[in-house]
Structures are given as C-alpha cells and as structure tokens.
Amino acid sequence: MYLAKKLNADGCHLGQSDMKIRKARKLIGNKIIGITCHNSIKLAKIAIKNKADYLAFGAFNLSKTKKVKYKASINLLKKAQKITNTPIVVIGGINSNNYKNLLLNKANFLAISGYIWKNKKLKPKNAIKKLI
C-alpha cells in the first residue's frame, strides 16, 4: 500500500490481513483498490459496501504459487455476479487448459502467475501466447 503511494501506482490489492480499504483510500485517493474475498460471498458483500473497485476470488484450481487455503467454484462466481456489477478477478492455478471455462462463466479478469513464471515447459512469452 505504502509502495503504491510512493510509486504513484494506479492502485493496489488488499488481502484480508492487509490494511482496511477506508484507510487505503485515504492514503492513495481515488485509485484502483481490489480486495481478496477468497471463497466468501460475505467478504464480497463487505468489500462491495466499502466500494472496492474489484473483487478477487480463488483459488479456482491447485496453484504452484501458493498453498491453496480456500477453494472457489464456478457456482461462487455466479453467486457473486448476481449480487454486484463490481468486476471479478479469478485466481489460482489458472492455465491454458482451464482459463476458457472461467471466461465463459463471465469472470472479468484472470490473475495468472505460476503458469507464466513457474512453467517448466514454456518460457513466459510462449506461455502467454498459449492464452491468447
């Protein structure tokens, strides 16, 4: 958060153990702030109430980046879409074999890390090309 302010970044992402969104807004102003909601509609409702710019749900699959603590589902994605127009970011083990299903179920954004940076078969540029 403080780094986002120092760098004049376009925004930041707040995990559940990070500072509260109201404090973040005071710090960085009218910039993009996204909130981790794990697999919880309750957390999403709180984030919506606090005017988050996007909601992040996951993990949708096993991940090479982090140990999966919370498992999200397509059903959760659909429930979230029913309660808000706030953009939804999906995260967790997303790769060239499973990303289309998330997009077909109207995820607004995909957060993809391990498939690109920890891919043992493809260099980052080639991994990205498989997603295009």
Kindly list the domain boundaries of the chain, sorted by start residue. 40-131
89: confidence class by pLDDT, cuts 50, 70, 90: very high
Contact between residue 46 and residue 66 where contact means Cβ atoms under 8 Å apart: no
pLDDT tens string 29-88: 999 999 999 999 999 999 999 999 999 999 999 886 778 889 999 999 999 999 999 999
> Model pTM?
0.92
User: 40-131 belongs to which homologous superfamily?
Assistant: Aldolase class I (3.20.20.70)
pLDDT of res. 65:
77
Tokens of 126: 């080639």
pLDDT of res. 62:
85
Listed in sequence order, the residues at least 6 apart from 69 whose beta carbon sits closer than 8 Å to its beta carbon are 38, 59
* 59 C-beta neighbours (distance < 10 Å), count: 21
Cα 129 versus chain centre, distance: 21
